[in-house]
Amino acid sequence: MKVEDLLKPFPIKEFHPFPRAMMGPGAHEMVGPEALKMGFKRTLLMSSGLRGTDIVHNMAESLKWHGLEVVVYDQVESNPKDYNVMDSVKLYQENECDSFVSIGGGSTHDACKGARISIAHDGRNVNDFEGFNKSENPKNPPHIAISTTAGTGSETSWAYVITDTTTDPDNPHKYVAFDDASVATLAVDDPVLYFECPVDYTAQCGFDVLAHASEPYVSR
């Protein structure tokens, strides 16, 4: 599907809550210019690889076309592990990056949030920040979060979920961290990217939306 086919009935809209969000067909094409406005020079592009698509490759090339240096970390797992976060932190530090771009679903955005918190604290273990507003430094590297799924919301929230595999290696556990400092600088939601994902992936994400919508109704 072409962007121009969707732009007329669904124009790109820009919102200014916390965080700022750009939504609409073709919004992902604004990432390069927005990154330049934010002062990005060498960015860490985080994803799960989005295998079977060209989404990550195309985004990396777009950022490079706008003059940015791009370092790619594409090993984020579902229910991201603490070592995913810390591996990306190491890569960020080794390459002297100054910013983050995450592209994918909730797992990718959550891992990126954890990495930003860690970077702001000189690479401390992400598990140190489990809980509410444990971050002591609100000034994190800028972050653009680009969603390829309809069911997460992580690109706009202050929460992130990490699996702790180190505290008790025999019993890994997931935890939720809530931190104002983890909120992305800019969220991008572009339905065009959904069409580039495998059909079953997009359908499953749609059911995730329905599940989130029904949960508060049946649990009130």
For the chain, the structural domain boundaries read 3-219
pTM of the model: 0.86
Mean pLDDT of the residues in the chain: 89
More confident residue, 73 or 215: 73
In this prediction, residues 76-82 reach a mean pLDDT of 96
In this prediction, residues 141-167 reach a mean pLDDT of 92
- The reported pLDDT for the residue numbered 97 is 98
More confident residue, 51 or 133: 133
- The reported pLDDT for the residue numbered 13 is 65
- The reported pLDDT for the residue numbered 219 is 79
More confident residue, 90 or 156: 90
7 pLDDT band, cuts 50/70/90, is low
Contact 139, 183 (CB under 8 A): no
DSSP state for residue 170 in the 8-state scheme = T
Query: Using one digit for the tens of pLDDT, what is the confidence trace for 169-214?
Result: 999 999 999 999 999 999 999 988 887 776 777 777 677 778 877 8
Domain 3-219 -> CATH class: alpha beta
Query: Using one digit for the tens of pLDDT, what is the confidence trace for 118-135?
Result: 999 999 999 999 999 999
Tell which residue, 200, 169, 164, has the closest CA to residue 52.
200
Distance (Å, whole) CA 100 – CA 187: 12
In this prediction, residues 2-14 reach a mean pLDDT of 62
9 pLDDT band, cuts 50/70/90, is low
14 pLDDT band, cuts 50/70/90, is low
- The reported pLDDT for the residue numbered 72 is 97
Distance (Å, whole) CA 195 – CA 193: 5
Distance (Å, whole) CA 115 – CA 63: 20
44 pLDDT higher than 60: yes
- Which ranges of 48-127 would DSSP assign to H, the alpha helix? 55-65, 82-94, 106-120
Distance (Å, whole) CA 35 – CA 195: 24
| H/E run at residue 186 | strand 186-189
In this prediction, residues 49-72 reach a mean pLDDT of 91
Give how far the C-alpha of residue 161 lies from the chain's centroid of Cα atoms, to the nearest Å. Answer: 12
| Long-range contacts, stretch 21-27, CB < 8 angstroms, 24+ apart | 21/155, 21/156, 21/186, 21/187, 21/188, 21/189, 22/186, 22/187, 22/188, 22/189, 23/188, 23/189, 23/190, 24/189, 24/190, 24/191, 25/190, 25/191, 25/192, 26/190, 26/192, 27/188, 27/189, 27/190
Contact 35, 68 (CB under 8 A): yes
Give how far the C-alpha of residue 188 lies from the chain's centroid of Cα atoms, to the nearest Å. Answer: 10
φ/ψ region of 36 (left if φ > 0, alpha if ψ in -120 to 50, else beta) reads alpha
75 pLDDT higher than 60: yes
According to DSSP, the residues that pair with 100 across neighbouring strands are 44, 143
